[in-house]
Structure 1
């Protein structure tokens, strides 16, 4: 193993020409394509690279999540298992859209770095020579790289305008992930639905 000595892209950014930036992004797209060609072992769900819990301090409540047997279970955990698909209140239209997004038929998990901030990309001579901070890496839905890169760091706000230049754009994913991150409190209607279901369950048990 060799220690790479190279500056972070974020620290170089203001000194780079437009041509240099494009060459770096072209190389970065190639690197990410290599990520996408990796395949998880059979039976692997949403998990870290070893099949264990995902680490991501940006997720609500705690840093370690899962592992999950499928994308559906991962999405359910992201909304604290609230039944947002049953919401009918028009005041929660954004959550109904989030539920529809989560219900999409997701084809497969992809290998994901999970924190492609400009401060985690090392560059030299207009090439990517290293990527650091792999603790958030794992097997995740195909949109996850985009939303995590877009929200990588508040100190890296300029990066949001550049993410589409090296990752497949997922504007609907970003919009819905914003809704998810801003909806941490229990939703009254989902609590009511859960209480009714639990009451029916107990009625059946005691019946």
Structure 2
């Protein structure tokens, strides 16, 4: 192990770039970034493979544990490389960062067969932890208001191609841990989304046909009122939020980012643990507007959970 006192801080795997500070989050829709060429993806894929090998040796010298999915590097960089990482995630990250949100800066992305890797900056802060405590916005630091500002801006963005379009920012499917096969879309209308979500519905968890049909009716109420299609993070969970000295310092993991119905952000984060701190936080952040949709979403989850739990 290398004595830390001998090495410049920027070479340490604990080095982080300063928290991106922006007093204003852009409310106008950012431009969709250009997708890298196949040659660029292959070239960077080769470079990332070398960096992954280097990271293994680098972390062992520092006595730092590095996971397969997140390889620590010097100069405040991290290499993300998982079966879920995608070009769509890169594009969503770039849009969010262009709007002033504290999102890691993408240095490059590479492709390795069907897998994608992202070389990006490491941000400061500690991930939030869910708990059974009571949420009090006044007792929290500025981070909760800064996060709400980010979500508010995202919900004002409009898909440049079609206001009813549901899919990734580059016109492809969205990855999501809570849908059949963990992919959905693209869809032209919200009704197509609900049809897809209900496609694996079964009576497996029900004791009677009557109970199943009542639950199915609750789920179908998602179509009872129209919804705007808004830019959505898609996995708004406590562990994806970094806080540093009370401020929002990181908004992470945009694997499920794209254009979704306005309720999706909140019903996804509020489906479980109604008494938990994060449920209350999500409610305060805007989930209070979608309680009927949440009821329908919970019914949908009961009908279809067997189709996606354990697959990812």
**Structure 1 or 2: more helix by fraction:** 1
CA–CA separation in structure 2 for the residues paired with 1:12 and 1:79: 31
Match of 2:256 in 1: 136
- Structure 1 residues 134-143 or 94-103, which shifts more? 94-103
Alignment of 1:1-207 (within 5 A): 1=105, 2-10=121-129, 19-21=138-140, 23-43=142-162, 45-60=165-180, 62-80=181-199, 91=211, 92-106=213-227, 108-151=228-271, 157-169=276-288, 170-184=290-304
CA–CA separation in structure 2 for the residues paired with 1:63 and 1:81: 12
CA–CA separation in structure 2 for the residues paired with 1:13 and 1:4: 27
Shift of 1:64: 1.5
TM-score using structure 2 length: 0.50
| Unmatched runs of 5 consecutive residues or more in structure 1 | 83-88, 186-207
- Structure 1 residues 94-103 or 163-172, which shifts more? 94-103
Change in CA separation of 1:178 and 1:54 when aligned onto 2, cut-off 3 Å? same
Aligned residues of 2:241 and 2:251 also touching (Cα < 8 A): yes
Aligned residues of 1:25 and 1:165 also touching (Cα < 8 A): no
Shift of 1:129: 1.6
**Can you list the C-alpha shifts for 1:179-202, whole angstroms capped at 9, x where unaligned?**
1011139xxxxxxxxxxxxxxxxx
CA–CA separation in structure 2 for the residues paired with 1:63 and 1:36: 23
Aligned residues of 2:267 and 2:287 also touching (Cα < 8 A): no
SS in 1 for 2:259: strand
Aligned residues of 1:20 and 1:126 also touching (Cα < 8 A): no
Shift of 1:18: 6.5
Change in CA separation of 1:10 and 1:81 when aligned onto 2, cut-off 3 Å? closer
**Can you list the C-alpha shifts for 1:134-161, whole angstroms capped at 9, x where unaligned?**
0001100010000112248x8xx54223
**Structure 1 or 2: more strand by fraction:** 2
CA–CA separation in structure 2 for the residues paired with 1:114 and 1:22: 24
Aligned residues of 2:130 and 2:277 also touching (Cα < 8 A): no
Shift of 1:63: 1.1
TM-score using structure 1 length: 0.72
CA–CA separation in structure 2 for the residues paired with 1:105 and 1:158: 30
Equivalent residues, number: 174
CA–CA separation in structure 2 for the residues paired with 1:43 and 1:184: 29
